[in-house]
Amino acid sequence: MERLITRPDSAEIVDTLEPEQVIEEILSPTTQPRQPSYHPTSWDIVNSVLAIADDVTHGRAGLLQRLFTFVLFGGIAAIVNLIVFYIIFYHIALPVKTEAHNILAFVVASEISLIVNFIPNDRFTFRHLPGRSRSWAVRCARFHVTSIGGTILTFLIEFTLSSVFHVPAIVSQAIAIMLVLIYNFSFHHIFTYRHVKTEVQ
């Protein structure tokens, strides 16, 4: 038997269905239940918190989950950054002016902490994003490119605070790292791990 079914979008579709199937088709919900935005962990209590956060934020728990791990690993990388910067600037004597010594300490500390930051974030924080399908070398290179803006901002903030406002160099470095955190997180989403175009692998 032919039945004319009018859907919410006013599209008319003629299906060959039995009466019971027509009723079921009409009464069945047109929208699928929302899937969790987060990725379950091995800990039930963490999954419960994520489920609550997903409801409260209307499906943004996945973003909060990534932000948490990014901050966690970024915090570890920041500690590494500060340790390396401290050792080079305060304990390695170089025959250069203070400003040049500051720049050298900054560059070395930034590169080491960037690698320390990339490895766990690539493995855990961004592993479910489309850009994760790229090769490790490409992801690492894009992570570096994305971090250039953040590194420049960090340097400008640190150098300005220490040279212009005479804030201790190590304190200036810590302040700069905290201020640039959100910038880095956002641009890794926008560029480093964005969708991979099918024609460009």
Q: Is residue 168 part of a domain?
A: yes
pLDDT, position 73? 92
Residue 105's pLDDT is 92
Question: What's the pLDDT score for residue 101?
Answer: 92
Question: Is this prediction's pTM over 0.85?
Answer: no
What b/e readout covers 104-121, taking b as 16+ CB neighbours within 10 angstroms? ebbebbbebbbebbbebb
Torsion-angle region of residue 48: left (phi > 0), alpha (psi -120 to 50) or beta?
alpha
pLDDT the model gives residue 28: 54
Amino acid at 194: R
- Under-70 pLDDT residues of the chain: 1-34, 196-201
Task: Report the pLDDT value the prediction gives residue 201, as an integer from 0 to 100.
Answer: 44
Running DSSP on this structure, what letter comes out for residue 35?
Answer: P
Residue 95 lies in a domain: yes
Q: Is residue 37 part of a domain?
A: no
Residue 183's pLDDT is: 83
pLDDT at 14: 44
Task: Please indicate, yes or no, if residue 70 is contained in any of the structural domains.
Answer: yes
Domain that holds residue 125: 62-192
Give pLDDT, residue 81: 92
Is 133 inside a domain boundary?
Answer: yes
**Domain membership flag for residue 72:** yes
Residue 66, domain member (yes or no): yes
pLDDT of residue 190: 81
| 182 part of a folded domain | yes
Enter the tokens of residue 2: 């032919």
CA distances from 170 to 27, 74, 119, 139, 181 (A): 66, 17, 25, 30, 17
If one counts the domains in the chain, the total is: 1
Give the per-residue pLDDT at 85.
Answer: 93
pLDDT value for 18: 54
